[in-house]
Structure 1
Amino acid sequence: MQYRTLGKTGFNVSEVSLGTWQVGGRWGEPFNEQNAENIINKAIDAGVNFIDTADVYSNGESEAAVAKVVKSRSEQVYIATKCGRQIQPHTPEGYTPERLSAYVEESLRNMKRDTIDLIQLHCPPTEIYRRPEMFEAFERLKEQGKIRHLGVSVEMVEEALMAMQYPNVTTVQIIYNMFRLKPGEEFFAKAKENNVGIIVRVPLASGLLTGKMSQQTSFGPEDHRNFNRNGEAFDKGETFSGVDFDLGLEAVEELKRLFPGQEPLAAWAIRWVLMAEEVSTVIPGASRPEQIISNIKAAELPALSAEQMQGVQQVYNKYIKPSVHASW
């Protein structure tokens, strides 16, 4: 495992880490604590020392499982969680410093910890980035020893740039993958300039970039890949990176031709993310322990050639850019 610095947190984190949206069960399935613990232990065994969770993942059960396993281990493992998505309806009016502070307290209880390594605003409405009092609230929590660092999880590059205006924002979590190239244009350079760590989520575009899907692939009724394709429940960009499923399948076939051989497209998609030196860590999810190993092995692949990098750009320009680039 290789490690990179997570911006001004100073944390030295595994370049392939673990996102826990679907840990403990696939999307829409009941949370399975034993499966979650097996996945988290497998990740730490493999050198992962950064785990991302959220209070809304299985209603706090994900936070509890992550903290339980980390407490049982001797290794230094950083836990990042998120707050704000509990606000329903999810509108700016629901955001207050007091409410956010209460969510932090609730996460601390879920995890049975005194301090959170990294708390992140969980994709708040754009208007929140224009309200300094929201960010000042976390300064008070830091002074009280309840958090070590503040970060944000964003939907749009515009929001990432706005968030970095606040000095206490140490990290930005953002979608970046072969179907979402926009963050690499301006945001990455600005993050480097501000020493802000970049956490990349959705590196496989909700599974599209595994190369294993087809038009016959079906998803359960509680799976966001079934019910959120047009943003019915939350931002459309979280599902298949906002790409039309059938169009994405066409693009994947061209990507497969760029990366022939025994290694799956999923591995190359993760390795592609790590080609950006500004990226601190990428957090693919896992619903089974064996997926951890395949994700981590991706970092051991050779660097992509200039021809492959150009090929990914060309596929993006041809299939993806016209419909999604301006949106996020």
Structure 2
Amino acid sequence: MEYKLRTEKSNITTMVEFILLGFPDIPNSQWILFGIFLVLYLTIVMCNSVIVPITRIDPALQTPMYFFLNHFSILEICYVTLTIPRMLTDLLSQKGHISFIACATQMCLVLLLGGLECLLLAVMAYDRYVAICNPLHYGLIMSPQVCVQLVTASWVSGVPVVTGQTWQVFSLPFCQTCQIFSLPFCGSNLINHFFCDIPPILKLACGDTFLNEMLVFTVAVLFVLIPFLLILVSYGKIISTILKLPSATSRGKAFSTCSSHLMVVALFFGSAIVTYLRPKMQGSAETDKVLSLFYTIVTPVFNPVIYSLRNKDVMMALRKWPGKHLRSLKK
């Protein structure tokens, strides 16, 4: 089926919508893909929806680590909801039409929440660094006020802030999206992707995109590379401290937790770095889609397991929670 752009009477081509192709290289498999992504989406939402109330209600989980985990779970629900429901709808309808404004909005929100996830992961790594490497001062360093400030700074870092009488908006994801969608799109409107991501959109733009690529590089360094390096430094210090533990059992448990966290971090940051820090927006569309699947779907599936369900305190709270809930209903 051929898709054409609508044109005005002045013969100037105007982009009014895009077509998300999704996974055209896997023909006659939309129902299989729909089932797989639906199960993954429900798993992510259900697991994180349980973690949020547990970490707020259970007295044993009122610590900085679970405070950060609570916000991280909320973020994960919002993050996957930006892409998967839309992809499920497109798999069912086999159309993939998305308006210019909707595509720009999706890109902006994905960038904003993706950057927030990078910052929160860095904050969580710093929390573990203080807990393991400086345990005697942990309560003083990670006070409730500091925890709130760290989470607040992460949440508002990419949110558009309107200041001054000129109503100028300062937000790197917002500015980046505006610049990309201000480019002329005079060719195809077919996006060989399952959501509006930067590389496939830039491939459709006409003219010189060098400045846009430099802005993408700058934002990726600030929100992806720097947090990733901070996480590596934190875990380097943590591993160094663990090696000094006298008990082999303690070292084994600590290494198991660290390796699991680092695996998720490597999947998320590695795919994001390759996607957004390439010298040019080149590479096959299929490679871009595989990389995007890692940081939009695969790591959100692993995160509840790694950060919560393998945690002894969380599992104990989950076992106690139904009984407490039932007793409260009887009163």
TM-score (norm 1): 0.26
In terms of fraction of residues, the more helix-rich structure is 2
Please state which structure has a larger fraction of its residues in strand: 1
Q: Normalising to structure 2: TM-score of the pair?
A: 0.26
